[in-house]
Chains A and B, each alone.
Chain A
Amino acid sequence: MTFQRILQTITFTAFIVLLYLAAFPLMSPVPVDLFLRMDPLVLIGTLVSARAFIPLLLPAVLIIGFTFFLGRFFCSHICPMGTTIDISDQIFHPGKKGGPDIYRPVPASLRIMKYLVLLFILGAALFGVSLVFLASPLSLITRLFGLVIFPVVALLMDMGLFVLRGAGEILGLSIFPYTAIEAPRYALQFFIVLIFASVFGCAYLSPRFWCRYLCPAGALLGLCSFKPFMRRRVDESCTRCGLCVQKCPTGAIRTDPFKTDFSECIVCLRCTDICPERAITFAFPGRNQGKAESPLSGQRRKVLGAGLAGAGAALVSLSGLRQQHRGEAPGQIVPPTLIRPPGAIPEADFLARCVRCGECMKACPTNTLQPIGLLSGFTAFASPVITPQLGPCEPHCTVCGQVCPTGAIRSLPVSEKIWAKVGTAYVIKHKCLAWEFDQECLVCDEVCPFDAVKLQRVEGLRVAAPFVDESRCNGCGFCEHHCPVLGDRAIVVEPMNALRLATGSYREQAEVLGFSFEMKQQSSYEPAEREEKDTSKGFEDALPPGFTE
């Protein structure tokens, strides 16, 4: 195996392991979002759309820096999207296995497309709209593995376990008697699957079609590497056999084996390995052998056009009906289910930073974080929301903020996170078993971690009925998740009074607003032999809740 294949295998494995480790509790010595933070498009796109340099993205700065010296080594050695495409190229390539590659000719002029994609995204970013998620390789591949492949594998393993247990029972063996594999579920899976079906399908047209023609991160690196310090060099022993021209996965060696298109070269070093004459080396400092001018020179019209198209797309989406505006303008449509994760910064900044990678959704232990569709306009497409019906937001968990590569969700300690109110719960009386049907039920009170739901006796009802103490409710959604009423639950969390702070302490802000989120903890001890009755809860002589006369 070549050096490049070995390194590629190592980084791809690391990517998968880190993604797997993106879970609660976070137990990885390395940041689990490291690969996302290396994506040059995530860095530049977010830099423009959020108007902020995000220190978390320092790894991408290093990648870009090294690219000036080494060329697009990232694409061949590190990028898990590239590796995945290499694997799919093996599977989907036309012709027989082991036989010659029979590719349909793709016009080389199409290569400009990736630059246009990049400029489209940057054009939109100028207006604060982040379209990074549409084409950032790390965002795409994290979504694929985190939100499609992991759940499918978990489902398969769960089925396998079921079969194994059944077989064990017949043999009188107890196999993994208590192991449970819970397969998470996600929305928008087919959006992800369709993107990748097209990306993989393009293996029919050319190897690494995505990297050659579409990838805006590759384009960005191409702009940094049209004159790299380390270059491919062909010495005099070359017989012009043309093998390197034929086998170059990115077509960087067009017709003349001596000439290299450095913006296209991903430094995979395949040409050095396959050259029968060993005539090819990559060396410092490289002598100029080939085209060393910007791939965009002479393309001013297309460049301008793509940027303008991006800007136009941003403006059109910003004028959409469901677009959230800065501030709370009258007439603003706020979807009742738009409950952002705790620590999500103010909405416009949040959307400018969020790259929709799905890392938070993968890591969320209760599966409550889900990508939304067009619920809140196009600019919010595939961004995360809390879905209480599916799962509550666990108060002790802060993992979504910890794994967010761009700081769209702030990384908060538990002591702060509890105060990052995401919404408020409301009892829908006409659906509530107690309020409407006079049936015994207390689940919302029982499960509330903050003691925000109280059951009280109400005139006209035989049973005690739930009330929400708004000042104690931080919107975690335990009540909605566990409410036994089907369809829309009888107690629902809405984004009312959510706290969205870009900086500063949530606790301080919440306290200023009169909130008090104390986890139910130790109760008070009192001697059993007391004379006076407990009147502290206002029950006095009323029948205790749940008892009958």
Chain B
Amino acid sequence: MDSRSLLSALFGEEDALKKGLTRREFMSTQAKGALLFAALSSGLYVPRRVLAAASPDIVVVKGSPGAATRAAVGLLGGMEAFVKPGNKVVVKPNMSFARGPDSATNTDPEVVREIVAMCREAGAGKISVVDHPLRPNEMCVEGVRDACRVFPDTNVQALEDKDLYRKTELPQAEKFRKTHVMRDVLEADVLISVPVAKSHSSTGVSLSMKGMMGLILNRTIMHWRYDLSSSIVDLCTYLKPDLVVIDGTKVLSTNGPGGPGNVLKYDTVIASRDMVAADATAVAMFEWYGQKMQPRQVKHISIAHERGLGRMDIDNLITKKVQV
């Protein structure tokens, strides 16, 4: 739901606004407005009524990284909707490169910190922030680890040792049917994907679906034995995040995933329960190599849609856009 339709829903017929208002209508609108303003600022009214009426499939929030992240999860019902007290949570940001957040190759640490903070507020038990990076471990996770230092019992880890993975069947996969998955992930109650939005020169984009490759041990096999895009979908039949929060505050628009490329500042966070819809929204919303692309143009997104993993027809879904 965009802001315009929200307005008309609350303030009466859009036509009336256009036609010119009678005095009485004007007064009534003003009163409603004042009431709404009070309710909004108190924070009591809007979340319950409006959200209950139309729970969005996709949330798009503009704002600073931390605040936008919090608002985005809030609009999906808050972290309590995903994390129950005592749950083991795995947060999967992109920490694959030894570069700062300005390069948009890794998820902004502030976004990750906000997610971890919300998980703790929801009463999560063990929280692991994990990735299987490409460059030497410590240099990649540095940023996120620093950001999460305020939460002493949160593990920010780059895992490479084979003992920390376990061989796992992917029962719904077509071809890529077995792989070693991180033990932490296998034992987790909740999986939250927090990718940064970036281009990817062989899969178009690297978002939540592509990011699941950071939870397994042997990724190169997906390149040479299988078709990369369909094996990503195979992997996502098993590794299906409960919540996806895409960091679009800075988007690596060209030369991804490693950069350096053009970084576009969108100050946007996208959240959804549906990884395909979240990724599709990011594809459609951001500019890639100076062009507007359709979700169907990303092979793994369109295969995932066909196989019923999620929906890329975002125009048929309810999207809520907010600015904080």
Contact = CB atoms under 8 A, between A and B. Distances in A.
Interface of A: 161-162, 165, 177-178, 180-182, 365-366, 394, 396, 433-434, 439-443, 445-449, 451, 455, 463-464, 482, 484-486, 520-528, 530, 532-537, 539, 541, 543-549
Contact of B259 (A486, A523, A526): A523
B287 A178 contact: no
Nearest to B184: A177
A525 B157 CA distance: 29
A528 B252 CA distance: 11
B293 A442 contact: no
Given A484-B224, A524-B262, A463 B99 contact: no
Is the interface on chain B under 10, 10 to 19, 20 to 34, or 35 or more residues?
35 or more
B14 interface: no
A181 to B, nearest CB: 8
9 contacts: A177-B155, A178-B157, A445-B201, A464-B201, A523-B104, A523-B252, A523-B261, A525-B265, A544-B204
A484 B221 contact: yes
Contacts of B288: 544, 547
A537 B291 CA distance: 13
B21 interface: no
Contact of B103 (A396, A440, A523, A530): A523
Contacts of B193: none
A439 B263 CA distance: 27
Nearest to B130: A178
Contacts of A181: 161
A526 B287 CA distance: 12
B297 A180 contact: no
A464 B228 CA distance: 14
A394 B98 CA distance: 11
Nearest to B286: A528
Contacts of B161: 180-182
A463 B202 contact: yes
A24 to B, nearest CB: 9
A544 to B, nearest CB: 4
B155 A178 contact: yes
Given A537-B289, A549-B297, A544 B199 contact: yes
Contact of A528 (B164, B265, B299): B265
Interface of B: 99-100, 102-104, 134-136, 139, 155, 157, 159-161, 163-164, 199-205, 220-221, 223-224, 227-229, 251-255, 257-266, 286-291, 293, 297-299
Contacts of A439: 223-224, 227-228
A401 to B, nearest CB: 18
B105 to A, nearest CB: 8
Contacts of B261: 523, 537
A482 B220 contact: yes
A140 B261 CA distance: 49
A165 to B, nearest CB: 7
A546 B257 CA distance: 11
A60 B211 CA distance: 55
Nearest to A484: B220
Contacts of B299: 548
Contacts of A548: 204, 297-299
A546 B262 contact: no
Nearest to B257: A446
A440 B263 contact: no
Nearest to B267: A528
Contacts of A530: 287, 290
